[in-house]
């Protein structure tokens, strides 16, 4: 038997579009066990809150009635218990344990697949509980209809109550989950950092929470406050970096040179012919727009030019953009190439 985690409550479960139905059904089941949704089956990918909601039902029922007989197991535990009962000749005890309950919660029923005898036993367990209006809660990693090697009659029982799907949370929900987690942990985290983590980690809630903790540890180890820069570095270490390498002045020069069919050395040089000067100005303009470099820094990377030269180039491009259609198109294309 697996103990319940008292931290899995409805109160600390953040609701969003992706889990609203699951939350409402679970809450309803906890309020009126065996009446509203029986069985309640929640399905969806890993780390999206199925176990949390399932245990929230148990915790809520126990809060209301500390004597409620509730059993929470994973489907593997059910299989093991059943196999052991056969081995020890203690099937009667097994049945007592699994049928004299107010609620039975079985997590991750996909592991019943291909275990035919266990499926038959669970079918009987299910019926015994259901006949007595005892609450059954199940989770699965996908719609039970899609789980291979699950007997038809078991599937038909599972979908008696309407199965509810839980999907990946959207950005706003991810930010809300991070805010709530930070608060729980008494962490002071700037909103920009939470937004950065939410934007990069869009897989599931478990990874989202893990990322927040990693960012904190990383900042601590480096004796730094939690800034977006530190967070980005920490996430990079976790493999959550965006794969596009950071844009550098050098890369911009190369792209622009290639685009206009000239050499990068021309851009760095001092030639005054128009077919060189315009690309050079464009490269300076884009370096200012697409990187964080200062004007003096840009100047030095363009063959040691003065920052006033860079400023002049930027002003010239800005002025021409107002009338020059081709320049607008060229810049648009260049930006796209460098995204």
Q: Which residues contact Mg ion by CB under 5 A? A: 50-51
Out of 25, 26, 38, 52, the only residue in the binding site for ligand ADP (CB under 6 A) is: 52
49 touching ligand ADP, by CB under 6 A: yes
Tell me if the bond preceding 39 is cis, omega within 30° of 0. Answer: yes
Compute φ and ψ for 106, nearest 5 degrees. Answer: -120, 115
95 touching ligand ADP, by CB under 6 A: no
Residue 13 binding: pick among Mg ion, ligand ADP, none (C-beta 5-8 Å cut-off by kind): ligand ADP
Residues 6+ apart with CB under 8 A from 318: 285
Question: Given the complex with Mg ion, which of 91 and 142 has the nearer CB atom?
Answer: 142
Out of 24, 35, 46, 162, the only residue in the binding site for ligand ADP (CB under 6 A) is: 46
Out of 26, 40, 41, 48, the only residue in the binding site for ligand ADP (CB under 6 A) is: 48
Nearest-approach distance from CB 107 to Mg ion, in angstroms: 6
Number of neighbouring beta carbons within 10 Å of residue 9: 15
47 touching ligand ADP, by CB under 6 A: yes
Q: List Cβ<8 Å contacts ≥24 apart for 205-210.
A: 205/47, 205/48, 205/49, 205/169, 205/174, 205/177, 206/46, 206/47, 207/47, 208/174, 208/177, 208/178, 209/177, 209/178, 209/181
Question: Given the complex with ligand ADP, which of 207 and 233 has the nearer CB atom?
Answer: 207
Question: Given the complex with Mg ion, which of 49 and 161 has the nearer CB atom?
Answer: 49
Strand partners, 79: none
Residue 69 binding: pick among ligand ADP, Mg ion, none (C-beta 5-8 Å cut-off by kind): none
Question: Given the complex with ligand ADP, which of 46 and 246 has the nearer CB atom?
Answer: 46
110 touching ligand ADP, by CB under 6 A: no
Compute φ and ψ for 104, nearest 5 degrees. Answer: -120, 125
13 touching ligand ADP, by CB under 6 A: yes
Residue 34 in tokens: 């065996």
Nearest-approach distance from CB 49 to ligand ADP, in angstroms: 3
b/e per residue 16-55 (b: at least 16 CB within 10 A) = bebbeebbebbbebbeebbeebbbbbbbbeebbbbbbbbb
Cα distances from 220 to residues 193, 194, 318, in angstroms, run: 15, 17, 44
2 touching ligand ADP, by CB under 6 A: no
Question: Given the complex with ligand ADP, which of 181 and 280 has the nearer CB atom?
Answer: 181
Q: Are 74 and 118 in contact (CB under 8 A)?
A: no
Nearest-approach distance from CB 52 to ligand ADP, in angstroms: 3
Nearest-approach distance from CB 50 to Mg ion, in angstroms: 5
137 touching ligand ADP, by CB under 6 A: no
Q: Taking CB positions, which residue lies at the least distance from Mg ion?
A: 51
Question: Given the complex with Mg ion, which of 50 and 200 has the nearer CB atom?
Answer: 50
Out of 209, 255, 266, 301, the only residue in the binding site for ligand ADP (CB under 6 A) is: 209
Residue 2 in tokens: 């697996």
Residue 256 binding: pick among Mg ion, ligand ADP, none (C-beta 5-8 Å cut-off by kind): none
Instruction: Say how far apart CA 232 and CA 215 lie, in whole Å.
Output: 8
* Residue-level length of the chain: 339
Q: What one-character-per-residue DSSP string does 68-82 give?
A: --EEEEEHHHHHHHH
Task: Taking each helix axis as running N to C, give the angle between helix 75-88 and helix 116-131, from 0 to 180 degrees, rounded to the nearest 10.
Answer: 100
Question: Given the complex with ligand ADP, which of 138 and 257 has the nearer CB atom?
Answer: 138
Instruction: Say how far apart CA 183 and CA 223 lie, in whole Å.
Output: 21
Question: Given the complex with Mg ion, which of 80 and 263 has the nearer CB atom?
Answer: 80
Q: Interface with ligand ADP by CB under 6 A: which residues?
A: 8, 13-14, 19, 46-52, 177, 205-206, 209
């Amino acid at each position: 038997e697996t103990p319940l985690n008292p931290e899995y409550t409805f109160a600390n479960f953040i609701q969003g579009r992706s889990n609203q139905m699951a939350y409402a059904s679970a809450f309803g089941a906890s309020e009126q066990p065996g009446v509203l949704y029986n069985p309640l089956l929640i399905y969806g990918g890993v780390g999206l809150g199925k176990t949390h909601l399932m245990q929230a039902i148990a915790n809520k029922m126990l809060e209301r009635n500390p004597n409620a007989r509730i059993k929470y197991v994973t489907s593997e535990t059910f299989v093991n218990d059943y196999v052991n009962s056969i081995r020890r000749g203690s099937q009667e005890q097994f049945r007592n344990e699994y049928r004299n309950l107010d609620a039975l919660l079985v997590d991750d029923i996909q592991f019943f697949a291909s275990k035919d005898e266990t499926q038959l036993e669970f079918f009987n367990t299910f019926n015994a509980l259901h006949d007595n209006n005892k609450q059954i809660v199940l989770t699965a990693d996908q719609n039970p209809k899609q789980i291979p090697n699950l007997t038809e009659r078991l599937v038909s029982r599972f979908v008696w109550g309407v199965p509810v799907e839980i999907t990946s949370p959207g950005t706003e929900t991810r930010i809300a989950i991070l805010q709530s987690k930070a608060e729980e942990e008494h962490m002071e985290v700037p909103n920009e950092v939470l937004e950065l983590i939410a934007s990069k980690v869009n897989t599931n809630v478990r990874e989202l929470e893990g990322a927040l903790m990693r960012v904190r540890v990383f900042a601590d180890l480096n004796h730094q406050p939690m800034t977006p820069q530190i967070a980005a570095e920490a996430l990079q270490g976790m493999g959550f970096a965006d794969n596009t390498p950071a844009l550098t002045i050098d890369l911009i020069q190369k792209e622009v040179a290639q685009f206009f069919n000239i050499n990068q050395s021309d851009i760095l040089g001092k030639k005054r012919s128009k077919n060189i000067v315009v690309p050079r100005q464009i490269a300076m303009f884009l370096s200012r727009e697409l990187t964080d470099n200062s004007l003096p820094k840009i100047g030095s990377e363009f063959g040691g030019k003065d920052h006033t030269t860079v400023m002049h180039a930027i002003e010239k491009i800005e002025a021409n953009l107002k009338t020059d259609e081709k320049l607008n198109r060229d810049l648009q294309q260049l930006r796209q190439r460098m995204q």
